[in-house]
Amino acid sequence: MTSPTTAELVALAQDLYEDLSFTSAREWKKADPTRKVIGYLPVYVPRELIHAAGMLPLGILGGGDNLEVIHGDAYYQSYICRIPRSTIELGVSGRLDFVDGMLFPSICDVIRNLSGMWKMLFPETYSKYFDVPQTYKDEIGGTFYINEMREFLSDLEKIAGRKITDEQINASIAVYNQNRRLVNELYELRAAMPWQAPASEAYLIIRAGLVLPVEEHSEMLRQYIDAAKAEKRPIKDNSKVVVTGMFCEQPPLNLIKSLELSGCYVVDDDFMLVSRWLIGDVPTTGDPVYHLSQAFLHHSMSTAAKYEPDQAEKGQFLVRAVRKTGAEGVIFASTSFCDPALLDRPMLQNVLKAADIPFIAFKYAENSGQMQPIREQAGTFVDSIKLWSAA
Amino acid sequence: MRPSVLKAQPADVLKDASMIKQKEMMANHYNRLTDAKENGHKVASTFVPGNLNELIMCFDLVNNLPEVNAIQSGLRKQSGAYIMEAERAGHSEDVCTYVKSDIGMMMKGNIGPNGKKLPDPDVLLLSYTGCFTFLKWFELLREQYKCPTIFLQTPYMADGKVTPNMVQYMVKQLKEDVIPTLEKVSGVKFDIDRLREYLAKSAKAEDDLVYILQSGKNKPSPIDAYFGGIYYIGPIFGAFRGTDDAIDYYRFLREEVDQRIAKGLGPVTPDGPMGDEKFRLVVEGPPNYTSFRQFWKMFYDEGAVVVASSYTKVGGTYDYGFRHDPDRPLETLAEYCLGVYTNRSLPMRIDMLCDYINEYEADGLLINSIKSCNSFSAGQLLIMREVEKRTGKPAAFIETDLVDPRYFSGANVKNRLESYFQMVEQKRSGRGAAA
């Protein structure tokens, strides 16, 4: 049997991306009457716990630019971002009618309030606001988080109708460790040879992991990485950039492609942080909930939705991302009306100024259609990088 | 001896004496704040929801509330220029205007409402309750002031209940982070008995506050629980909770309210005593401060009085039974923070608004949706529909902003309010005809 090409894998991932009825998840569930599906919103939930319950964690990242929002707009004022309205649209239009539970992680006031709206709109479906600590001492935030995870496990046990053992969770941690390693390998490949694994392709491949069972997704990642390394693709005279601010409402795929067309190699980003939130492997023996809490507290990504207790550390993740990938600049791309990203932006920009890293900023929505201004802005940015860095 | 600030007496004045007294208290506080460094006092900046004033006082710190500063700037028509100053410096037009007003004010010299410079804080007590923006706001201030920042996380009451895990988490933060850092910053040793004493005083004032807020159940209501309510909550949500001044103020206010009840009078408005009470409303959401008086006038000119509001619960939901408890000093601070209005789930907020409409015999619900406050605003359209459905009372929706004058369109708001009052009238006459 021949290995699939990057084009074949990307086409498969794009089908999953465009399928707003979540057919693959529906079919996964239909294959066995005991199976359950738990949806989750950005930024992070411990998917290992859901997996250990024998359930499919399903990432819900809004409706993108292909969903016509008819009902969702009636729930939100014009000055609120788009992801909650398209998520409601997915719900009230029946596209999530097979989902057995929904998780709303602690990210901002809008998603927090959406958790309550979900309870009102879908009272028969389990829904939970998934609170996480913003204080990172083991005996304080750690204890709180362990207890929150245990409460969540207890809820999952009720839905599953069975106990979830530590062994099962440890086995799931191992599966997700492997998946994270592969995601990181893809990021490293893209940073080193972005022409071999363009951001728009990597985006689709990683995003497939939000709807596929993790084992299948790891296989897809392995195949894509191997195929991307093997294929010969032309090197363009692009500039390497890091994109930040897209951690919740996702950009339209065309936006990522437009950045590439305007001369950017996107070598790092904060799309779908759940895929690489935990940094490094989580131990697979001992108390798994403790280990997940330790990973969250001490070995997890930085983003605007998290409190940074150390002023000296503020924004340094971005400087490190630039240095590590050899990027020449940063693009702040934030969703309109996104409090965390937009409030964080001036602080991050000050850090970049101090580090002498050029940047630009623009806003978008998941259904932005007009890419020309973004293309022009990004193109000018790349030109200026080339001009001034050479001088 | 405690200094007396009591100058106005209920019998001596034609207008609302408590408002004059409240203004004097606020002015005294601002003088204390702007003179703090001169007098050797240290300053703690913190927020209204989750304000731990009793604890702050245990360390002889002066409480500075950036939200209240932004409100003062809004009322004084200064916030618009401050906001634009912050936007010119790179802050997004999309985000909270309290934050931008505060930052713009800082950039313009941080001049307080008394015309004197506000002191730089010695500590930022980031009590994160019911509003994600708080977290970023104090990260922004920390960048400028470079002072210690204490984080106190309040878990969200998503499932409508306070769990032991939530309380334990908060008590641990208080014991292991908040109190030790406040001791270090202030140089004052923590004395739990001092905290108990302040908490007992808080509870006394809270009893009177609840009496005052619930006086809106009378017909006519002797208070306006939204516009007037802003004055009423000022001391207890700000720097006076736990003080004798607060006890005196709320006792004074209660007497004033009792006098109005006895005489069958409505609230006192900026234009004098209110005329006949034609509409009884419950209001959800914060007010607009840049056109506060114009906004209020749109109500009292039509004979509309707000009998209950959710905004007067952002600094504590005392009317739902909570009182600071000196016997459980740290737990009670945790429970206070957990219970504030914006830390309550959407279903809890809906229940509360429905209760208000029923218990205060209101004609309907008005939502003032604030452009830059997602904590309040996200979900309000669902709240409106649900409250209408459950109570059968008409609801209406207007949109303004806290302190950004660009988002207050007087003509639009007035039009909507007039249409709403007509709708209430029609609903009443329809009901009358049916009966």
Q: What is the tens place of the pLDDT at every residue in A155-207? A: 999 999 999 999 999 999 999 999 999 999 999 999 999 999 999 999 999 99
Q: Does position B10 have pLDDT exceeding 50, yes or no?
A: no
State the pLDDT confidence band at B7, using cuts at 50, 70 and 90: very low
Say what the pLDDT of residue A326 is.
Answer: 97
Q: How far is B155 from chain A (nearest CA, A)?
A: 7
pLDDT tens for B99-132 read: 999 999 999 999 999 999 999 999 999 998 989 9
Q: Kindly state whether residues A257 and A158 are assigned to the same domain.
A: no
Whether residue B99 lies within 8 A of chain A, CB to CB, comes out as yes
Q: How far is A43 from chain B (nearest CA, A)?
A: 15
Which tokens is A38 given? 């738990």
Residue B184 is predicted with a pLDDT of 98
Could you tell me the CATH number of the domain that includes residue A304? Answer: 3.40.50.11900
Q: What is the pLDDT of residues A11-31, one digit of tens each?
A: 999 999 999 999 999 999 999
Strand partners, A315: none
Which residue, B300, B220, B223, B296, is CA-closest to B254? Answer: B223
Tell me, yes or no, whether B215 and B282 share the same domain: yes
Pick from B317, B310, B269: nearest CA to B293: B269
Q: Do B30 and B114 share a domain, yes or no?
A: yes
- Give the mean pLDDT of chain A: 97
The pLDDT assigned to B435 comes to 40
A222 assigned to some structural domain: no
From the list A74, A307, A350, the residue facing B135 with the nearest CB is A307
Handedness of CA B102, B104, B109, B111 (dihedral sign): negative
Out of A77, A116, A342, whose CB is closest to B158?
A116
- The verdict on a CB contact (< 8 Å) between A74 and B149 is no
Dihedral of CA atoms A345, A350, A354, A358 in degrees, nearest 10, equals: 50
pLDDT of residue B6: 41
- Domain membership of residue A328 (yes or no) is yes
Contacts of B140 in chain A (CB under 8 A): 343, 346-347
* pTM above threshold 0.80: yes
> Which of B147, B165, B192 corresponds to the end of one domain?
B192
With contact defined as beta carbons under 8 Å apart, do B307 and B90 qualify?
no
In chain A, the residue whose alpha carbon lies closest to the alpha carbon of B386 is A120
Q: Is residue B1 part of a domain?
A: no
pLDDT tens digits along B210-242:
999 999 999 999 999 999 999 999 999 999 999
CA distance B264 to A43: 55
Distance CA A112, CA A90 (A): 18
Residue B2 forms part of a structural domain: no
Nearest to B143 among A115, A307, A347 (CB): A347
Q: For residue B3, name the pLDDT band (cuts at 50, 70, 90).
A: very low
Q: Is residue A93 part of a domain?
A: yes
H, E, C per residue of B38-71: CCCCEEEECCCCCCCHHHHHHCCEEEECHHHHHH
Q: Which of B376, B216, B236 is nearest to B315 (CA)?
A: B236
Q: Residues A340-356: pLDDT tens digits?
A: 999 999 999 999 999 99
Q: In terms of domains, do B216 and B364 share one? A: yes
CA distance A122 to A105: 18
Mean pLDDT computed over A292-309: 97
pLDDT tens readout for residues A81-122? 999 999 999 999 999 999 999 999 999 999 999 999 999 999
Domains held by chain B: number: 2
Chain A: residue nearest B375 by CA?
A: A109
Whether residue B166 sits in one domain with residue B49: yes
**DSSP state letters, B82-132:** HHHHHHHTT--TTS-HHHHHHHHHHHTT-B-TTSSBPPPPSEEEEEE-S-H
The domain that holds A110 is classified in CATH as 3.40.50.11890
Sign, Cα dihedral of B21, B25, B31, B32: positive
Say whether A307 and B94 touch across the interface (CB within 8 A): no
Residue A160 lies in a domain: yes
Minimal Cβ distance to A80: which of B139, B349, B378? B378
| Residue written as token pair 């006076």 | B240
The sign of the CA dihedral B369, B371, B372, B375 is positive
> In the 3-class helix/strand/coil scheme, how is A300-319 assigned residue by residue?
ECCCCCCCCCCHHHCCHHHH
The answer as to whether A215 is a domain residue is no
Q: Which helix (DSSP H) or strand (DSSP E) does residue A39 occupy?
A: strand A37-40
A108 touches chain B (CB under 8 A): yes
**Structural domain containing residue B76:** 12-192
Residue A235 to residues A6, A193, A226, B343: CA-CA distances in angstroms? 17, 9, 18, 52
The last residue of one of the domains, among B192, B226, B247, is: B192
B395-400, strands of its sheet edge to edge: B304-309, B279-284, B364-370, B395-400
3-state DSSP helix/strand/coil % of chain B, to nearest 5 = 55, 10, 35
The CATH number assigned to the domain holding B87 equals: 3.40.50.11890
- A309 neighbourhood in chain B, CB within 8 Å: 149, 151
pLDDT at residue B428, rounded to an integer: 84
Which range of residues forms the domain containing residue A34?
22-164
Query: What CA–CA distance (Å, rounded) separates A345 from B213?
Result: 41
Q: Is the per-residue pLDDT at A1 higher than 90?
A: no
**Residue found under tokens 């739902």:** B320
Contacts of A108 (CB under 8 A, 6+ apart): A248, A305, A338, A339, A340, B132, B374
pLDDT exceeds 80 at position B14: no
How far apart (Å, rounded) are the C-alpha atoms in residues B423 and B425? 5
Residue B284 lies in a domain: yes
Q: Verify whether the Cβ–Cβ distance A339 to B173 is below 8 Å.
A: no
To the nearest whole angstrom, how far is the Cα of B98 from the nearest Cα of chain A?
Answer: 12
Burial environment of residue B377 by CB neighbours within 10 A (0 to 12, 13 to 18, 19 or more): buried
A150 lies in the same domain as A29: yes
Cβ contacts (< 8 Å) between B416 and chain A: which residues?
none
Q: Where are the beta strands (DSSP E) in B298-370?
A: 304-309, 364-370
The mean pLDDT value for B257-280 works out to: 94
Q: What is the mean pLDDT of residues B65-71?
A: 96
Average pLDDT, chain B: 94
Query: Residue A360 — very low, low, confident or very high, per pLDDT cuts 50/70/90?
Result: very high
What average pLDDT does range B193-198 have in this prediction?
98
Any B CB within 8 A of A92 CB: no
Q: Are A194 and A183 in contact (CB under 8 A)?
A: no
Closest CA in chain A for residue B136? A343
Of B94, B161, B412, which to mutate for an interface test with A (greatest number of A Cβ within 10 Å)? B94
Q: Are residues A154 and A246 in the same domain?
A: no
- What does the pLDDT read at residue A390? 55
How many residues are given for chain B?
435
| Rounded distance between C-alpha atoms, residue B35 and residue B281, angstroms | 41
Domain boundary among A121, A138, A164: A164
Q: Chain A partners of B172 at a C-beta cutoff of 8 Å?
A: 139-140, 143
Residue A223 counted as domain residue: no
What local confidence, expressed as pLDDT, does residue B431 receive? 63
Q: What is the ipTM of this complex?
A: 0.96
Q: Using an 8 Å Cβ cutoff, are A243 and A331 in contact?
A: yes
| CA closest to B146 among chain A residues | A311
Scan residues 301-360 of B and list those with Cβ closer than 8 Å to A. Answer: 345-350
In angstroms, what separates the C-alpha of A336 from chain B's closest C-alpha? 7
Of B132, B140, B378, the CB nearest to A84: B378
Whether residue A249 lies within 8 A of chain B, CB to CB, comes out as no
| A136 and A298 Cβ atoms separated by less than 8 Å | yes
Taking CA atoms, what residue in B is nearest to A116?
B346
Quick check: B374 and A307 CB within 8 A? no
Indicate the SS3 state at residue B289.
coil
| Final residue of a structural domain among B161, B192, B223 | B192
User: Distance (Å, rounded) from C-alpha B90 to C-alpha A342?
Assistant: 10
Instruction: Say which of B156, B347, B399 has its CB closest to residue A112.
Output: B156
CA distances (Å), A65 to each of A84, A249, B213, in order?
14, 11, 48
Q: Report how many domains make up chain A.
A: 2
Alpha-carbon distances, residue B20 vs A88, B6, B64 (angstroms): 48, 10, 21
Residue A148 touches partner B, C-beta closer than 8 Å:
yes
Give the separation between CA A384 and CA B155, rounded to whole angstroms. 46
| Separation between Cα atoms, residue B278 and residue B264, nearest integer Å | 14
pLDDT of residue A388: 79
Specify whether the CB–CB gap between A99 and A39 falls below 8 A: yes
